[in-house]
Amino acid sequence: KQEVTQIPAALSVPEGENLVLNCSFTDSAIYNLQWFRQDPGKGLTSLLLIQSSQREQTSGRLNASLDKSSGRSTLYIAASQPGDSATYLCAVEGGANNLFFGTGTRLTVIP
Amino acid sequence: NAGVTQTPKFQVLKTGQSMTLQCAQDMNHNSMYWYRQDPGMGLRLIYYSASEGTTDKGEVPNGYNVSRLNKREFSLRLESAAPSQTSVYFCASRGGHLLAQYFGPGTRLLVL
């Protein structure tokens, strides 16, 4: 069974810093990897999806990379803002309907 | 577009009671999903529906049933609620050219 790990579980940074969130997975046979944001008491918002044939995706200040062979993905957030404070979840898809989630990294950006 | 909507937002049940969680999407997606989210465990797939008229079990289906009423709606039923089913339930649909998953706002369920 695919296992997805996100370290650290929590992270605090001062506003303006660049930061990297990590995601690792045990089975490299994936279809895609998706990064989500979850605000307290809310649903999940899709940030970026990287297909298995891709190495990275970018959206604004966010950049996600994928290294299937090593079972790793990173989410880079540039020039962090207090509004970026949320929990960030990584999920890998191992089949047409099998999405496995990590437990997330709770990010706090301090003004 | 409302995206994915869920009702109710919050529910308290007594052990043994039944209820149905409703989910609807207006994005014309074929696939729909039900997940539960528990502290320290991440989201886990309960059931999914790859298309109208089909449903399949996910990782944690015991104690639940589902109905894919039509392309828009996918409901989750708890026939006899147990305290272990206290959780936050999310519905999602999948589509678009990247086949990303889109989530509803969740239903918080407390079983006493």
pLDDT tens readout for residues B15-32: 999 999 999 999 999 999
Instruction: For A39, name the nearest residue in chain B, comparing CA atoms only.
Output: B105
Give per-residue pLDDT as tens, A30-71.
989 999 999 988 889 999 999 999 999 999 999 999 999 999
Instruction: For A3, name the nearest residue in chain B, comparing CA atoms only.
Output: B42
Is residue B106 over pLDDT 80?
yes
Local confidence band at B98 (pLDDT 50, 70, 90 cut-offs): confident
CA-based nearest residue to B24, from B71, B65, B72, B67: B72
Mean pLDDT computed over every residue of chain A = 93
Mean pLDDT, residues B77-81: 96
Is residue B99 over pLDDT 90?
no
Please tell me the distance in Å from B74's CA to the nearest CA on chain A: 15
Q: What pLDDT is recorded for position B2?
A: 77
Instruction: For A6, name the nearest residue in chain B, comparing CA atoms only.
Output: B42
Mean pLDDT, residues B46-71: 94
Q: What pLDDT is recorded for position B69?
A: 87
Identify the contact set of chain A against chain B, taking CB-CB distances under 8 A: 4, 32, 34, 36, 42-46, 49, 51, 89, 91, 96-104
Mean pLDDT, residues B68-74: 94
| Residues of A whose CB is below 8 A from B105 | 42-43
Using DSSP bridges, classify how beta strands A4-7 and A19-25 pair: parallel, antiparallel or unpaired.
antiparallel
CA-based nearest residue to A105, from A32, A10, A30, A17: A10
Q: What pLDDT is recorded for position B27?
A: 93
- In contact, B70 and B46? CB cutoff 8 Å: no
| Residues of B whose CB is below 8 A from A102 | 42
Mean pLDDT, residues A79-108: 91
Count of CB atoms situated within 10 Å of the CB of B20: 14
Is residue B51 over pLDDT 70?
yes
Mean pLDDT, residues B59-63: 94
Q: What pLDDT is recorded for position B96?
A: 78
The contacts of residue A69 (CB under 8 Å, 6+ apart) are: A28
Q: Are the Cβ atoms of A97 and B50 closer than 8 angstroms?
A: yes
Of A34, A89, A97, the CB nearest to B100: A34
Is residue B12 over pLDDT 80?
yes
CA-based nearest residue to A99, from A87, A89, A91: A91
Q: Are the Cβ atoms of B43 and A89 closer than 8 angstroms?
A: yes
Is residue A96 over pLDDT 70?
no
Mean pLDDT, residues A13-39: 95
Is residue A84 over pLDDT 70?
yes
A8: Cα separation from own chain's centroid:
12
| Residues of A whose CB is below 8 A from B50 | 96-97
